[in-house]
Amino acid sequence: MSTLQAPPARPGAAARPRTRFLPAASAFALAVALLVALAAFHVTQGSSSIGAGDLLGLLTGRADETTLHVLTDSRLPRLGAAALVGIALGASGALLQSIARNPLASPDTLAVTGGAYLAVAVVAAFGISLPVLSGVGVAFVGAAATAALVLAVSAGGGASTTRLILAGSAVTLAANALVTLLLLLFQENTISLFAWGSGSLSLTGLGPLTQTGPIVLAALVAAVAVGPRLDVLRLGDDAAASLGIGVRRTRLAAVVCSLLLAASAVSVAGPIGFVGLAAPVIARLIANRVPDLLPHRLLVPFSAICGAIVLMGADIAVRAVLGGSAGYIIPVGVTTTVLGAGVMVWLARRATDAGTAGRPAMLHGAAGRTRAGFALITVVLSALLAAALLAGMLSGDTMLLGGDLWNWLGGNTGRAYTWIIDQRYPRVAAAILAGAALAAAGTVIQGVCRNPLAEPGILGVTGGAGVGAVALITWAPGAGPWTITACAAAGAVAAFAVVYGLAWRGGLDTARIVLIGIGVSAIALAAVTLLIIYSDPWNTPKAMTWLSGSTYGRTAERLLPVAVALVVLVPFIASHRREIDLLTLDDDTPRTLGVRLEPSRLSLLTAGVLLTAAAVAVVGVVSFVGLVAPHLARALVGSRASRALPAAMLLGALLVSVADTLGRTVIAPAQIPAGLVCSLIGTPYFVWLLWRTRRASA
């Protein structure tokens, strides 16, 4: 974060003003000129054949009424939405970065947009139709609730970039899981929320803009007014208080302005990702070259203009590459997510809290557990898994009895029950195998990265595997399970290679790899959404299957790749259990004891990546299993890999199996994807873990 400093005094310059406004005015003029040029080009794009010549005809009176209607009913509302939402998100992000003193803070990384989206979805699910102004209020409440939770869990965010982003990612994931659950349970009332949930600029008139515009303007004016006090806060809370600044009041005013801006943006266009991160970063980079822009009274409006440029440019790019009609099919938020997550990755490589300072402490439990205790816990977990398997086979839209299973094993069931069990057992087996694979991968990744909050989903591996699998299924629907697994593995390895390569700077920093992994994961999930929406925009169940994690429609043949991966890779990981234990300590101890640090780390992480890819190819994107299972295992049997690995695999299989059974049973015949249930279970645990490790880190 740059600090505001007065330029050095020069002889004979006492009468000159300290700040020269010409460079700042020039920067504003260039930004506005670029925005006007983009707006002029933006208004010529659309699904109709009306072009620039037809629009120019309106000025000379040669255009017909059709051109006028297209301009006023479609193109101007879309242009206005891009400008208004970009301005709101850019200013909101600038305020949040100043409040948190963190360049990675934004409405997305602090779960502000996720909370606003959840609040709007809750209202829509119950069939409540609200005017735009009331919608802003609902979104504001949701944004305030999630932002408060993230800032509280991350201890304000200023001390650790890693903790702040992890807390925001977890809360956002939980909010999205709840939204997806609402989409499934209330399909008639929420039919249009899936595409809108990625950000849509398609408006049918200027009404929403005329109603939210004054709110955005008022919040901007208030933010500019509080700007001088934010400048003083750059000196630190104690210094600001000594200068007579009310620190809490200033922060509260800035937070309210930021949340109001973000809520207004969500109520108009949905949660458009990462504009609130990219725009302030661009503005600050320019301000570093034009220091007169650093005061908040100029930085906030300049960030707002940059936000409008980013969003408008992204919308232009999509329609220029894919055609004018693509803007109505592909949410613009997908494009901005790719751009903004790329900025996040770039910032993560420069993170100043990389290393142990920003990394949560590695928690160890049950260090003194005896062999008899370990054996007893293993037997209990195995019995629970067997019970979960039996419950999964008996439960569903049609409840079965134990005798039905016994008869099926003997080939004595009727045609109806045989069909039911033949459809059910691959689903139960898929949940168990995928859960075991994800837990094993999480155990390896947490140990090697020495970060208790790392897991395959956070490191981008799950998202990369999803891109590979969905791409193949989209372009070759008849592909076999081995081909799907191979493509998922290729995507996972590619994502992991990108994360690993970008995180390497004279060594692998465990905090940096997590931050970069979150950015790459966001890009991967945006790519999955783009593939699904562009190839089959109305096939929402397909999107839910992969983005929410589901065992629906699985066959025995589909299970072979993950079974083979477990048989091959788990013994390999177990044979390197000593290296995992040493890598958990630090980098120096393994080298002292003769361990080849980087080859061992890379081979173990690759094994975790391949296990994740095999699981994703079977059940889609399932989060938090690789986080929760290893933690519970260490709490039960200790941190030694020889004990934690089998316990984690049993717990992971148990968790996904129970989640799948609950999803198939609670609202039968409708179903809740297992990944959603895992997210709803895992998020509270993750938040509690962040809260607990906050004290351990201190």
pLDDT tens profile 21-75: 788 888 999 999 999 999 988 888 876 767 666 667 666 666 667 777 777 777 8
State whether 313 and 420 are in the same domain.
Answer: no
Cα distance between residue 92 and residue 110, in whole Å: 11
Whole-number pLDDT of residue 12: 38
Query: From CA 203, how far away is CA 502, in angstroms rounded?
Result: 39
Whether 324 shows a pLDDT value over 70: the answer reads: no
Runs of H (alpha helix) within 331-414: 332-349, 371-394, 402-409
284 located within any domain: yes
- Closest to 448 (Cα-Cα) out of 695, 629, 641, 591: 641
Q: Is the peptide bond before 456 cis (omega within 30 degrees of 0)?
A: no
Looking at residue 369, its amino acid is: R
For residue 394, CA distances in Å to 417, 437, 536, 588, 665 come to: 11, 24, 35, 52, 10
Kindly state the DSSP code that residue 361 receives in the 8-state scheme: P
In a domain, 33, yes or no: no
The tokens for 619 are 């059940």
Is the four-CA dihedral 315, 318, 320, 325 of positive or negative sign?
negative
Residue 18 lies in a domain: no
Give the three-state DSSP class for 257.
helix
Q: Which residue has the tokens 């699910």?
A: 125
Q: Is the pLDDT of residue 187 over 80?
A: no
Q: Are 484 and 473 in contact (CB under 8 A)?
A: yes
d(CA 549, CA 370): 37
Beta pairing partners, 504: 508
Both 495 and 388 in a single domain? yes
CA angle 165, 641, 504 (to 5 degrees): 45
* Mean pLDDT of the region 518-546: 71
Q: Measured between alpha carbons, how far is 368 from 89 in angstroms, rounded to an integer?
A: 51
Predicted confidence band of residue 190 (pLDDT cuts 50, 70, 90) = low
Region 307-311 average pLDDT: 93
Q: Which two tokens stand for residue 334?
A: 């997908």
One-letter amino acid at 252 equals L
- Asked if residue 203 and residue 140 are part of one domain, the reply reads yes
Give residue-wise pLDDT tens across range 552-568: 777 778 888 889 999 99
Q: Are residues 584 and 672 in the same domain?
A: yes
Picking from 184, 664, 662, the residue whose alpha carbon sits closest to that of residue 397 is 664
Positive or negative, the CA dihedral 46, 47, 51, 56 is negative
Backbone φ and ψ for 508, nearest 5 degrees, come out as -95, 110
Please, which pLDDT band fits residue 507 given cuts at 50, 70 and 90? low
At 20 the pLDDT is 58
326 and 389 share one domain: no
pLDDT band of residue 647 (cuts 50, 70, 90) is very high
Return the number of other C-beta atoms located less than 10 Å from residue 467's C-beta: 27
Tell me: do 495 and 390 sit in the same domain: yes
Note whether residue 450 is domain-resident.
yes
Q: Which of 303, 318, 349 finishes a domain?
A: 349
Residue 130: the pLDDT is 60
Q: Which of 392, 389, 430, 393 is nearest to 618 (CA)?
A: 430
Q: Taking residues 133-152, what's their average pLDDT?
A: 80
Identify whether residues 328 and 386 lie together within a single domain. Answer: no
Contacts 24+ apart (CB under 8 A), 592-600: 598/508, 600/576
Q: How far is it, in rounded angstroms, from Cα 632 to Cα 634?
A: 6
**Alpha carbon distance 355, 352 (integer Å):** 9
**The pair of three-digit structure tokens given for residue 209, joined into one six-digit string:** 């803009």
Mean per-residue pLDDT, 103-127: 82
What DSSP state is assigned to residue 107? T
Catalogue the E-assigned strands of 238-311.
Answer: none
Mean pLDDT value across residues 445-451:
80
Q: Is residue 264 part of a domain?
A: yes
Tell whether the model's pLDDT for residue 219 goes beyond 90. Answer: yes
Which tokens belong to 7? 């330029």
Per the structure, the complete domain to which residue 471 belongs is given by 371-697
Q: Name the more confident of 381 and 44.
A: 381
Nearest to 693, CA basis, from 623, 625, 627, 622: 627
Does residue 32 lie within any of the structural domains? no
The two three-digit tokens of residue 618, written as one number:
């079977």
Domain at 201, CATH number: 1.10.3470.10
**What residue type is assigned to position 247 of the chain?**
V
Token readout for 331 is 């949410």
Q: Could you tell me if residue 358 is inside a domain?
A: no
Q: Which amino acid is at 523?
A: I
607/489 Cα distance (integer angstroms): 11
- For residue 401, the tally of other CB atoms under 10 A from its CB is 10
Residues forming a β-bridge with 508 = 504
One-letter amino acid at 602 equals: L
Do 375 and 428 fall within a single domain? yes
Looking at the structure, tell me whether residues 186 and 316 fall in a common domain.
yes
Q: What per-residue confidence (pLDDT) applies to 439?
A: 92
Q: Using an 8 Å Cβ cutoff, are 146 and 666 in contact?
A: no
Q: pLDDT-derived band of residue 358, with 50, 70 and 90 as boundaries?
A: very low
Supply the DSSP symbol for 204: S
Could you tell me if residue 587 is inside a domain? yes
Both structure tokens of 415: 């045609």
Percent of the chain scored above 90 by pLDDT? Answer: 15
Query: Is the pLDDT confidence value at 211 over 60?
Result: yes
Q: What's the chain's average pLDDT?
A: 79
Asked whether the bond before 669 is cis by omega within 30 degrees of 0, the reply is yes
| Across 218-234, average pLDDT | 90
Are 229 and 157 in the same domain? yes
Task: Look up residue 63 and give its two tokens.
Answer: 């255009």
Residue 504, SS3?
Answer: strand
Residues 284 and 377 in one domain: no
Burial class (CB in 10 A: 0-12, 13-18, 19+), 311: buried
Is the pLDDT score of 372 beyond 70? yes
- Residue written as tokens 């059940």? 619
Our count of domains for the chain comes to 2
pLDDT of the residue at 131 = 61
Is 554 strand, coil or helix? Answer: coil
Do 458 and 588 have their domain in common? Answer: yes
